[in-house]
Chain A
Amino acid sequence: MNIFKKTIFSVLFSLLIIGNVNADKIKIGTEGAYPPWNSKSEAGKLIGFEVELAYTLCRYIGQQCVIVEQDWDGMIPALIMRKFDAIMAGMSITAERQKAISFSQGYADEVASLAVMKGSSLEGLDTPAGINLTKPNSDAKKALKTLTGALAGKTVCVQTATIHQNFLDSGDVGKVNVRTYKTQDEVNLDLASGRCDAALAAAVAFSDYAEKSGKPVVLTGPTFSGGAFGNGVGVGIRKDDTELLNAFNKAIDKARKNGDISRIATKWFGFDASM
C-alpha cells in the first residue's frame, strides 16, 4: 500500500470514528447574537438563557448535547437539512413556521416592543401598556390605529425572518417602510445611527442593548403578544423526529416543575420569562 492510499484510509477511518462519537449527541442550533436569549462571550463562547437551558434539558433527557452556531436566516433550512437536530434560538412558535417544522411546548415567552431614540417624535405614543393580537379587543384595535397613523411613511427596522418582520408585513399597522437586517446587532446599530425611525424586536433585546451600549434607546407604544407574535418560544424540531420532540416536551415539564426554567430565566433576563 503506498502512502497515498494509507492517508486516504486513515482520513476516512477517522471520519468514521468522529461520526460515531457525534451520533448519540443531540446537536442544538442557536444564533449566538440575540442577547439575553443567546449570545457570545468576549472569548467567543456561546452563552445566554437558552444555552444554559439546553444543557439542563439534555441532562433531563439523559443525553449529551453539542450546541452549534447558525445564522438566523438559515436556521430552519439548516434544521431540515439535518445540520443539527433542534433549534433553541429565541424562536417563537408561529403557525407559519409550524408548516415547516414542529415545536415543543413553549419554555419562555417574550413580548415585542417598538424602540426609538430618546427625543424622537414617536416617543410616548398614547397606547395601552400591552396588547394581545390573538383576539384583539377594542383597546388593541385602537392602539393599532394609533400606530398606523404614527408609523405612516416611517422606516421601521427588524431582523429578517422574525415574527417582528411578519407583523410589519401583515399590514396591521398600515404601510410602513420595513428594512430588514441579518442580525439584531445591526438593527441596533442603525437605530442608534438614525437610519431607522423605529425598530421592532423583543423588548429585552432593546433594554439589553441600551444597558450595554449606553445609547439612549427607549421603548415606545404597547408591548405586543399573540397573533403574528406567536405563542411563546419553543424548541424547533424536524417533523419526522417525534421521538426527540417527546423527549424535549418531557424534559421541559421536569425542568419547569423543578424550577430550573424560571431560575435560569431570572438569571439572564432579570425577571421570570419562563412559561
Chain B
Amino acid sequence: MDLELMVNSFPKLLSAAVITLKLLSVSLIIGLFIGLFFAILRLNKNIFINKLAYVYSYVFRGTPLLVQIFIIYFGLGQIEYLRSTVLWVILKEPYWCAIIAFALNTGAYTSEILRSAFQTIKPGIIEAGKSLGISNKVVFYKIQIPIAIRQSLPAYGNEIILMMKGTSLASTVTIMDLTGVAKYIISTTFKPIEVFIVAGGIYLFMTFIIHNAIKFLEKKHSFN
C-alpha cells in the first residue's frame, strides 16, 4: 500500500468529484422534466401517445447506459450530415453527449417511478378536490403532482444513487470526472488499488450525503 500516493491523489480526485456532481445534477434536472413529461403521457388514454411513452422507457431501461453513451458520442459522430448541422455544436462536446445520454436514461426510469406514484394516488383524494369545485388543472398541479413526488421519493433516491455511479461512464468519452482522473493517475503511477480505493471512498461519501438528504426529505414531507 502506497499511502503517500493515496494522500497525494486525494485533492486531485476531490476536485474531479465536482465534475461528477455537475454531470449528475444537470442530468437529473433535465431527466426529471423528461420523466414527468413521459409519465403524464403514460397516463394518457390515447393508445398511440401511451405506447410512444412506453417505447421510450422500454428502450432506455432495456439497454446498457454504456451502449447509449457510445451510440450518442461515437455513433452520431459518424453521421456526416449531422456534422454540418447546428446540432453538432452540442454533439461535438463530450460533456453534452454525456449529459444527453444520462438525462435520457434517468428520464426513462423517472417516468416509470412517477407513473406508478400517480397510479397509487387514491381516487378519493382527487374526487375530494373536484367536489370542492377546484378545476381539473389545479387538482393535477396542486394535488396530484405533490403527492406523486412524495410517493416516489424513496424510489427516486435510489435512482439518484444509481445515476451518480452511472456518471463514472463519462470517463469512457474522455471526460475527466472522478473515474477519469483516477484512471489518469493510474496511467502514470501504475497503482490501481490505492487510487481506486480513494476514488471509491469519495463515491461512498457522496452516496452517504444523497441517502441522508432523501431520508430527511421523506421525513419532512411524511403524511403522518
Please list the residues of chain A having a beta carbon within 8 angstroms of any beta carbon in chain B.
Answer: 73-74, 76-77, 80, 96-97, 100-101, 157, 160-161, 165-166, 179-182, 186, 189-190, 192-195
Cα(A123)–Cα(B105), bound, Å: 40
For the complex, count residues of B whose C-beta is within 8 A of A.
16
**Contact in complex: B83, A160 (CB < 8 Å):** no
The answer to whether the Cβ of B188 comes within 8 Å of any Cβ in the partner chain is yes
Cα(A166)–Cα(B78), bound, Å: 28
**Contact in complex: A189, B78 (CB < 8 Å):** yes
**Contact in complex: B186, A77 (CB < 8 Å):** yes
Query: Which residues of B from 76 to 126 have beta carbons under 8 Å from A?
Result: 77-78, 83, 92, 94
SS of B interface (majority): helix
A-B contact pairs, 28 of them (CB 8 A): A73-B186, A74-B192, A76-B190, A77-B186, A77-B191, A100-B190, A160-B183, A160-B184, A161-B186, A161-B187, A165-B187, A166-B188, A179-B94, A179-B174, A180-B174, A181-B174, A182-B172, A186-B74, A189-B78, A190-B74, A190-B174, A192-B78, A193-B74, A193-B78, A194-B83, A195-B77, A195-B92, A195-B94
Kindly list chain A residues whose C-beta atoms are within 8 Å of the C-beta of B186: 73, 77, 161
The 9 A-B residue pairs whose C-beta atoms are closest, nearest first, are A161-B187, A193-B77, A76-B190, A100-B190, A179-B174, A77-B192, A160-B187, A77-B190, A189-B74
How many Cβ-Cβ contacts under 8 Å join chain A to chain B?
46
In the complex, which residue of chain B has the Cβ closest to the Cβ of A180? Answer: B174
Given A182-B172, A193-B77, A195-B77, A96-B188 contact (CB < 8 Å): yes
**Contact in complex: A189, B190 (CB < 8 Å):** no
Kindly list chain A residues whose C-beta atoms are within 8 Å of the C-beta of B192: 74, 77
Kindly list chain A residues whose C-beta atoms are within 8 Å of the C-beta of B172: 182
**Contact in complex: B187, A190 (CB < 8 Å):** no
A-B contacts besides A96-B188, A193-B83, A194-B83, 13 pairs, CB < 8 Å: A73-B183, A73-B186, A77-B186, A77-B192, A157-B174, A161-B188, A165-B187, A179-B94, A179-B174, A181-B174, A182-B172, A195-B92, A195-B94
**Contact in complex: A180, B190 (CB < 8 Å):** no
Cα(A101)–Cα(B174), bound, Å: 27
Kindly list chain B residues whose C-beta atoms are within 8 Å of the C-beta of A77: 186, 190-192
**Contact in complex: A73, B83 (CB < 8 Å):** no
Cα(A252)–Cα(B189), bound, Å: 28
Determine which of B74, B77, B184 lies in contact with A180 in the assembled complex, contact meaning CB atoms within 8 Å: B184
Q: How far is the CB of B34 from chain A (nearest CB, A)?
A: 25
In the complex, which residue of chain B has the Cβ closest to the Cβ of A77? Answer: B192
In the complex, which residue of chain B has the Cβ closest to the Cβ of A79? Answer: B190
Kindly list chain B residues whose C-beta atoms are within 8 Å of the C-beta of A101: 190
Cα(A192)–Cα(B83), bound, Å: 11
Cα(A100)–Cα(B188), bound, Å: 10
Query: Which residues of B from 176 to 212 have beta carbons under 8 Å from A?
Result: 183-184, 186-188, 190-192
